[in-house]
């Protein structure tokens, strides 16, 4: 017997199958009689399958959707960035005690996601996947530009703010994205 939890649209169930609707928490099918199942809302990120052998042993397998993995990776990047709050800016520094803007993003992405970036904001804008500003999510790389040249780098934290090492005399902090001329790159 197999029990499957999923957010996929429902279909008519065959004999001997039990379907559980995770979103509604209802038992919708039965043994022996085909029943139409009710589709759960498309919000479930985990699908699990349990298999019961004839001897009664239960094995399970869970899978996580790609978007759930990406969001988790983005949270790890933002969390790593926040850990460095208050560390001083130093031109050319790439951590872990002091940072410049591109050294900060280079260090955080390497530590949180294993991604290698160059130590120049202008070069970093060529890494990852280009993302529309309206589609940015926490953990994305923000490159502020002057014309087409990348001049400052930060990590999107949500709510129109980013983590960055701003300039001499300042420390790593979460600040408003102050320019409208920026690009978003997705690395995780």
- In the sheet that holds 129-131, the strands lie side by side as 129-131, 182-186, 141-146, 149-158, 161-164, 173-176
Domain 68-186 has CATH 3.90.1720.10: yes
The confidence band for 50, taking pLDDT boundaries of 50, 70 and 90, is low
Condensed to tens digits (0 to 9), the pLDDT of residues 54-89 reads 666 666 666 667 778 878 888 999 999 999 999 999
Domain layout of the chain by residue ranges:
2-64, 68-186
Give the contacts of 178 (CB within 8 A, at least 6 positions apart). Answer: 144
With residue 110 as reference, give the H or E element that holds it: helix 101-113
Condensed to tens digits (0 to 9), the pLDDT of residues 160-181 reads 999 999 999 999 999 999 999 9
| Full-model pTM | 0.66
From residue 27, alpha-carbon distances to 77, 145, 188 in Å are: 39, 54, 37
């Amino acid at each position: 017997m197999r029990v499957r939890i999923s957010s996929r649209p429902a279909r008519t169930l065959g004999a001997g199958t039990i379907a559980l609707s995770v979103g509604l928490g209802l038992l919708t099918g039965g043994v022996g009689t085909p029943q139409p199942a009710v589709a759960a809302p498309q919000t479930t990120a985990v699908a699990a399958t349990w298999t019961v052998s004839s001897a009664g042993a239960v094995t399970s397998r869970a899978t996580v959707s790609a978007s759930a993995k990406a969001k988790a990776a983005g949270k790890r990047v933002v969390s790593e960035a926040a850990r460095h709050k208050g560390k001083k800016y130093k031109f050319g520094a790439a951590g872990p005690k002091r940072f410049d803007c591109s050294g900060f993003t280079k260090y955080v992405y390497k530590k949180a996601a294993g991604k290698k970036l160059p130590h120049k904001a202008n070069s970093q804008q060529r890494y990852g996947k280009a993302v529309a500003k309206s589609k940015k999510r926490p953990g994305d790389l923000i490159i502020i530009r002057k014309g087409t040249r990348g001049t400052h780098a930060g990590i999107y934290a949500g709510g129109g703010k980013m983590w960055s090492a701003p300039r001499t005399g300042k420390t790593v902090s979460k600040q408003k994205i102050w320019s409208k001329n920026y690009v978003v790159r997705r690395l995780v």
